[in-house]
Amino acid sequence: MPGPAIDLSGKTALVTGASRGIGRAIALVLAQCGARVIGVGTSIERDDQGPEAEIAAAGGVFRGLSCDLADRDQIDAMIARLDAEDTQVDILINNAGIIRREEAANHSLEDWDAVMAVNLDAVFHLTRAFGQRMLERGHGKIVNVASVLSFQGGILVPGYAASKGAVAQLTRAFANEWAARGVNVNAVAPGDLSQTLCH
């Protein structure tokens, strides 16, 4: 394994949506940089195809926590579990997201609510909860995964586009309040590197 570009030894990073795709890649890179990684997914603790073996093979430390991010009670229970274990989250990556494709005129309220619950509500919930603890310590890093559709709107994905547009603005709101207090809140918009948000 090549040496890390950034040394995160001694840090703990929590990554949502870590089972696959972008979240899995983020978890691997953080582990390669020396961070202990907590991966959150709907069934990640029971997923034999999850990133644990890959990260262990690369010399990293990974722990999976199952949590349905559409369920506020499950989010609270996960946070309480980590608090009870005295687990300090130094880096929070809000990556998990879902999409429902349908023409705007036919986009159901059920699909709208489902997308907002995971893509926006959970981001606010987790950022607020772990951010409070970071503020108490005077340091912390939070990265939200937005989308190129935060800026473009997209086609056939009104709920997803709205949720990701809101994530971009929510990131700015938290960053404006917390930057001077040692907690950095940023967002990245995969799909177009020129659309990266940094604050």
Selecting among 130, 160, 174, 178, the annotated active-site residue is 160
Long-range CB pairs of 185-188 (<8 Å, 24+ gap) are 185/127, 185/131, 185/142, 185/143, 185/144, 186/141, 186/142, 186/143, 186/144, 187/143, 187/144, 187/145, 187/146, 187/150, 188/143, 188/144, 188/145, 188/146
Instruction: Please confirm, yes or no, whether 113 is among the known catalytic residues.
Output: no
Residue 127 tokens read as 């950022």
How far, CA to CA in Å, does 114 sit from each of 97, 161, 178?
A: 10, 13, 29
Catalytically annotated residues: 160
